[in-house]
Structure 1
Amino acid sequence: MTAIKTEVAGRTAAPPPRAPRRRAQGLQGSRKRAGWVMLAPALVHAAVFLLLPMVMLVALSFTDYQFLGAYHWVGIDNFVQLMSDDRWRTALLNTVLYTVVTVPIAMAVALLIALGLNSGIRARGAMRVLYYMPQVTATVAVATVWLWIYQPDVGLANSVLGLFGLPPQGWLTNPNLSLPSLMLVGVWQGLGAKMVVYLAALQSVSRDQLEAAQLDGANRWQTFWNVTWPALGPAHFFVFVTSTIASFQVFDLVFVMTKGGPGSSSTVMTYEIYENAFQGLQLGYAAAQSVVLVVLIGVFTLIGLRLQKVSSDV
Structure 2
Amino acid sequence: MSTHPLGNSGPRAALHGWLLLLPAAVLLAAFTHYPAVATFWHSLFSTPRPNRPAVFIGAEHYRDLLADPIFWTALNNNLIFAAGTILPSIALALVMALWVNERIAGRGLLRLAYFTPTVLPMIAVANIWLFFYTPDYGLFDQVRGLFGLPAHNWLGSTETALGAIIVVAVWKEAGFFMIFYLAALQQIPPELREAARLEGASRWQAFWKVTFPLLMPTTLFVLINAIINAFRLIDHIFVMTRGGPDNASSLLLYYIYEVGFRFWDQGYAAALTMVLLAILAVVALFKFFWLERKVHYQ
Instruction: Work out whether the TM-score is over 0.5.
Output: yes
- 1:48 and 2:48 matched: no
In the alignment, structure 1 residue 195 sits paired with structure 2 residue 178: yes
Query: Which residue, 99, 112, 132 being the options, matches 1:116?
Result: 99
Q: What is the RMSD computed on CA atoms of the aligned residues?
A: 2.4
Distance 1:89 1:27, change over 3 A: closer
State the distance in 1 between where 2:108 and 2:5 align. 54
Q: How many residues align?
A: 295
Give the counterpart of 1:228 among 208, 211, 217. Answer: 211
Structure number with bigger Rg: 1
Which residue among 210, 217, 240 is the counterpart of 1:257? 240
What is the deviation of 1:52?
1.6
- Ranges in structure 2 where 5+ consecutive residues have no aligned partner: none
Q: Distance in 2 between matches of 1:57 and 1:164?
A: 53
Q: For residue 6 of structure 1, what is the aligned residue in structure 2?
A: none
Please report how far the alpha carbon of residue 101 of structure 1 lies from its aligned counterpart in structure 2 after TM superposition: 1.2
Q: Identify the match of residue 156 of structure 2 among 173, 187, 200.
A: 173
The alpha carbon displacement at 1:46 in A equals: 2.5
Q: Distance in 2 between matches of 1:220 and 1:252?
A: 41
In the alignment, residue 198 of structure 1 is paired with which amino acid? Y
Superposed displacement of residue 23, structure 1:
11
Secondary structure at the residue paired with 2:128?
Answer: helix
Retained in 1: the 8 A contact 2:126–2:236? yes
Single out whichever of 47-56 and 154-163 deviates more from structure 2. 47-56
5+ residue gaps, structure 1, are 1-17
Matches within 5 A, 1:296-311: 296-305=279-288, 306-310=290-294
* 8 Å CA contact retained: 2:115, 2:175: yes
Deviations 1:257-302 (A, max 9, x none): 0000001100010111011111111111110100100111222343
Matches within 5 A, 1:37-186: 37=19, 39-66=21-48, 69-186=52-169
Give the Å deviation of 1:65: 2.4
The amino acid that maps onto 1:177 is T
Between the two proteins, what is the percent identity of the paired residues?
Answer: 36
CA distance in structure 1 between the partners assigned to 2:286 and 2:10 by the alignment: 43
Provide the C-alpha distance between the structure 1 equivalents of 2:207 and 2:13, rounded to a whole number of angstroms. 49
Normalised by the size of structure 1, how large is the TM-score? Answer: 0.87
